[in-house]
Homo-oligomer: A and B are copies of this chain.
Amino acid sequence: MSAKTRESTKPMLASIKEHPGKRADSTARLRQRVLDAALTCFAAAGVEATSVADITRLANVSTGSLYHHFDSKNGIAEALYLQGLDQLNSGVLGRLNRCRSARTGVRSVVLQYAEWVSANREMAGFLYAGDVVMSDAARLERKRMYGRQIRAVFEWFARYVARGEMRHIPADTYVPLISGPIQEYTARWLSGDAQRSPAALKALFADAAWNAVKT
């Protein structure tokens, strides 16, 4: 909600509820305990199939306390979703910004995605499942995040497209061409249909990505 976007680990949107002073610490701890428990449940069974009682049980928190910190079950899912998306995005963008050529840039997107997903399997599964029903506020926040991300990535690539080092194709199709294969593989891995972690195959998919968009 504020300006800082990258590397942030704190939940977005919820920041309004943060309090300064002595109890802020234990408050944040409880919030995180709830988010952690919810992630585990959501990843395992989906948001709808997870009951609030499942979360309170796992987080060891009372119903009332949970609702003191979150608006609703779906509010937890939204906070988690935005937190995860922010993490994934900022990881990719941060790495991209340290690259100095079209090829390393394109490959870095895939490499970072593969690594993050392999290291955060639960969160990846949760984000991939896409069963969060977004409220208007959350939708706005996501749009803001996506906008920033897409704009930053496109600005980075645009110069190489302009130089003729990358193909000139519809804007809509870069992401599918670059990320589609690793994402599809990841989906199979998450569902148990593929054995090796995405990280183990990252070089192959990174090469394919570059191959798909280079001139």
Contact = CB atoms under 8 A, between A and B. Distances in A.
A176 interface: yes
A12 to B, nearest CB: 20
Given A48-B46, A131-B131, A212-B212, A172 B184 contact: no
Interface in A161-192: 169-170, 172-173, 175-177, 179-185, 188, 191
Contact of A172 (B172, B183, B195): B195
A185 B181 contact: no
Interface of A: 46, 48-49, 129-131, 169-170, 172-173, 175-177, 179-185, 188, 191, 194-196, 201, 204-205, 208, 211-212
B177 A181 contact: yes
15 contacts: A129-B130, A130-B191, A170-B201, A172-B195, A173-B185, A176-B180, A176-B185, A177-B208, A180-B180, A180-B184, A181-B181, A181-B212, A183-B184, A184-B184, A211-B212
B188 A182 contact: no
Given A170-B201, A173-B201, A208-B212, A46 B184 contact: no
B131 A173 contact: no
A47 to B, nearest CB: 9
B172 A182 contact: no
- Name, among A46, A179, A212, the residue most crowded by chain B CB atoms within 10 Å (CB to CB): A212
A185 B212 contact: no
A72 to B, nearest CB: 15
Nearest to A185: B176
A185 B201 contact: no
- Name, among A129, A183, A184, A201, the residue most crowded by chain B CB atoms within 10 Å (CB to CB): A184
A116 to B, nearest CB: 17
- Name, among A49, A172, A173, the residue most crowded by chain B CB atoms within 10 Å (CB to CB): A173
